[in-house]
């Protein structure tokens, strides 16, 4: 029996007569890196928004650790340990790098509503925040505002912020999009590293990028699951090659 | 996961700048306090008290728009509503002045809770429209309810004796009381902005979906900010009722809601001192223009347009921006 941590059953989303996601069944196994890929408009991001409750599904169920979370609010889903990132880099631009990470840490302190307390009451979190910042190689940037960071570093900061919640499942929405070659390698290594003790579901546009990163790949096309399996299986699927890469038999091989 | 923790939390340059910032800040605070203490000897005390009341009102409004990113177009309801309650408590019930103001503030907090609960789920222009509509309802109530005195308002409100000890009819005593109220309100705002709550609020302002994804139920934080802002606006309104010994319809009109937006934008939204400067500027301008034949709304409107076109950060915002640019 597989140990499924996140499961979608018959997940469907319709927008005014247009079906963006159609009866998607998805099982994410605990401790794996699972990639969701597909061409533009395949419904990857919609599936993502559905799983994290940022969009309500038209039909279907979502189970997290066996618990039905279909009717939950997004903030509560995050509290359970299912934390997402965003396609457009999601940092708090006018807060410093340290504050960005600290905002994620401070909820557990239970003082988030305390408007009469000094900011220095949060200094106890600096040790942990600094460690997280170091883990993503942002130490020299600690005191800078997030707006000052180059793009790739913003994505790293986002990962550090997400990691601050120590989520059981991290959902990364195109974590490598828009990055230069060097940043891609660094971030891919980072993802691999943080996946050591958690589950990751990531959306990616590019099959070759996720090839050696993921344990399981689910290919979406027009809102439906086209193929699923490890890279070796998926990349040889004729339909995938046709639909996703044109006839690019070679495209898949390059990593 | 990480083996060791770096000792260099901040880049090397930061402590030095922080020290200098701190020195400048303390100097500024002392200068401001000096001016505030000396002001009634240099200027007409009622004028300065008016400035202080509006400054606190604008600071309260700024807490909401500058730090929570919410534009309320109904803040006159809290300001004017609290003025009515305070005036009624002092005049009809004969309560002690501080208690009367406290009652006014509490009524504003309650209104803020109701307004906030209804408006907070909507964003941007819809949020502003709901607050405007609700404040127009308060205006209508102020016009129709028996205790408000309709068109006349509540006149001849006694200032009374503070804690039964200090006679507020003495202009200087009244002035220092108003100054104390202003400073207390300002200190609370400063603390709120620099608190764990303030941090979450800023995060929500910067990127609400991200704050949600970190597990924050953002509506609750926005509601608390709204209630705090409404209460402080009420504190300002209640105090003003005692200063002018009057609660009138002027304070609950939508024009009053507009005026506080103007003060805040002119002075510098999202800066702590901006609303104070903006309020001082608008009140002084109103007083000055009252003695001339120039139409006040036209002049203020023209200044507002110039502000939006040429210095969007507002007076204090622009100065702070230039200082920061020069220091880096």
How far does the CA of residue B228 sit from the closest CA of chain A (Å)? 10
Q: Does residue A92 belong to the interface with chain B, where contact is any CB pair within 8 Å?
A: yes
Q: What is the pLDDT of residues B212-230, one digit of tens each?
A: 999 999 999 999 999 999 9
Q: Which of residues 104-123 of B touch A (CB under 8 A)?
A: none
ipTM, interface predicted TM-score of the complex: 0.82
CA dist B239 and A165 (Å) reads: 45
Is residue A202 helix, strand or coil? strand
In chain A, % of residues over pLDDT 90:
30
- The answer to whether A135 and A163 are in contact (CB under 8 A) is yes
N- to C-terminal Cα separation, chain B? 36
Q: What is the pLDDT of residues A75-85, one digit of tens each?
A: 999 999 999 88
Q: What is the pLDDT of residues B251-287, one digit of tens each?
A: 998 988 988 999 999 988 888 889 999 999 999 888 8
Q: Does residue B328 belong to the interface with chain A, where contact is any CB pair within 8 Å?
A: no
Show residues of chain B in contact with A90, CB under 8 Å.
207, 209-210, 213
Whole-prediction pTM: 0.85
Q: What is the pLDDT of residues A113-152, one digit of tens each?
A: 888 888 888 888 999 999 999 888 889 989 999 999 888 8
Which of A103, A123, A197 to mutate against chain B (most B CBs within 10 Å)? Answer: A103
Q: Does residue A104 belong to the interface with chain B, where contact is any CB pair within 8 Å?
A: yes
Q: Which helix (H) or strand (E) holds B7?
A: none
Nearest to B195 among A102, A115, A131 (CB): A115
Nearest CA in chain B to A108: B215
CATH architecture of A4-90+169-245: 3-Layer(aba) Sandwich (3.40)
- Per DSSP, the residues of B154-174 read EES----EETTTEETTSHHHH
CA dist A82 and A6 (Å) reads: 9
Show residues of chain A in contact with B207, CB under 8 Å.
90-93
Q: Which helix (H) or strand (E) holds A143?
A: none
pLDDT, average across residues B44-64: 93
Q: Does residue A18 belong to the interface with chain B, where contact is any CB pair within 8 Å?
A: no
How many CB atoms within 10 Å of residue B106? 16
Q: Do A113 and B217 touch (CB under 8 A)?
A: no
What's the pLDDT score for residue B5? 36
Domain ranges of chain A: 4-90+169-245, 92-148
């Amino acid at each position: 029996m597989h140990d499924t941590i996140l499961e979608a059953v018959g997940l469907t989303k319709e927008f005014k007569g247009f079906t963006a996601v159609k009866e998607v069944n998805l099982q994410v196994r605990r401790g794996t890196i699972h990639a969701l890929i597909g061409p533009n408009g395949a419904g990857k991001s919609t599936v993502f928004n559905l799983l994290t409750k940022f969009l309500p599904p038209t039909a279907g169920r979502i189970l997290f650790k066996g618990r039905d979370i279909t009717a939950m609010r997004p903030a509560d889903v995050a509290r359970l340990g299912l934390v997402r990132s965003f396609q457009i880099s999601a940092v708090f631009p006018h807060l410093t790098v340290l504050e960005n990470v600290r905002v994620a840490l401070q909820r557990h302190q239970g003082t988030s509503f305390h408007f009469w307390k000094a900011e220095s009451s949060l200094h106890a979190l600096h040790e942990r925040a600094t460690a997280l910042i170091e883990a993503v190689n942002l130490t020299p940037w600690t005191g800078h505002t997030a707006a000052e960071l180059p793009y790739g570093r913003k994505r790293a900061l986002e990962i550090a912020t997400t990691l601050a919640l120590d989520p059981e499942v991290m959902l990364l929405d195109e974590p490598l999009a828009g990055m230069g070659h060097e940043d891609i390698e660094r971030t891919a290594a980072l993802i691999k590293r943080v996946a050591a003790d958690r589950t990751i579901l990531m959306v990616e546009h590019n099959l070759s990028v996720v090839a050696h990163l993921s344990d399981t790949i689910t290919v979406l096309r027009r809102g439906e699951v086209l193929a699923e399996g490890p890279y070796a299986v998926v990349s040889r699927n004729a339909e995938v090659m046709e639909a996703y890469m044109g006839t690019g038999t070679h495209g898949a091989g390059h990593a | 996961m990480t083996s060791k923790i770096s000792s260099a939390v901040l880049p090397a340059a930061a402590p030095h700048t922080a020290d200098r910032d701190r020195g400048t800040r303390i100097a500024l605070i002392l200068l401001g306090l000096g001016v505030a203490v000396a002001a009634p000897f240099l200027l007409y005390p009622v004028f300065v008290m008016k400035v202080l009341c509006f400054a606190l009102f604008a600071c309260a409004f700024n807490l909401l728009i500058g730090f929570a990113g919410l534009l309320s177009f109904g803040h006159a309801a809290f300001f004017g509503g609290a003025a009515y309650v305070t005036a009624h408590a002092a005049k009809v019930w004969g309560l002690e002045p501080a208690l009367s103001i406290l009652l006014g503030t509490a009524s504003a907090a309650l209104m803020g809770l109701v307004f906030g609960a209804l408006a907070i789920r909507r964003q941007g222009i819809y949020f502003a429209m709901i607050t405007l509509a609700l404040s127009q309802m308060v205006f209508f109530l102020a016009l129709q309810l028996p205790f408000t005195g309709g068109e006349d308002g509540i006149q001849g409100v006694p200032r009374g004796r503070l804690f039964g000890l200090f006679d507020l009819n003495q202009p200087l005593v009244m002035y220092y009381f108003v100054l104390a109220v202003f400073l207390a309100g300002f200190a609370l705002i400063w603390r709120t902005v620099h608190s764990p709550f303030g941090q979450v609020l800023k995060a929500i302002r910067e990127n609400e979906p991200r704050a949600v994804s970190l597990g924050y139920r953002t509506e609750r934080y926005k509601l608390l900010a709204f209630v705090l802002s409404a209460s402080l606006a009420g504190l300002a309104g209640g105090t003003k009722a005692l200063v002018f010994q009057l609660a009138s319809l002027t304070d609950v009109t939508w024009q009053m809601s507009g005026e506080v937006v103007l003060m805040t934008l002119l002075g510098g939204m999202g800066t702590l001192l901006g609303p104070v400067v903006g309020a001082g500027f608008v009140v002084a301008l109103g007083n000055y223009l009252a003695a001339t034949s120039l139409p006040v709304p036209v002049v203020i409107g023209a200044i507002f347009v110039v502000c939006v076109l040429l210095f969007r950060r507002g007076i204090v915002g622009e100065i702070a921006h230039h200082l920061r640019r020069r220091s880096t």
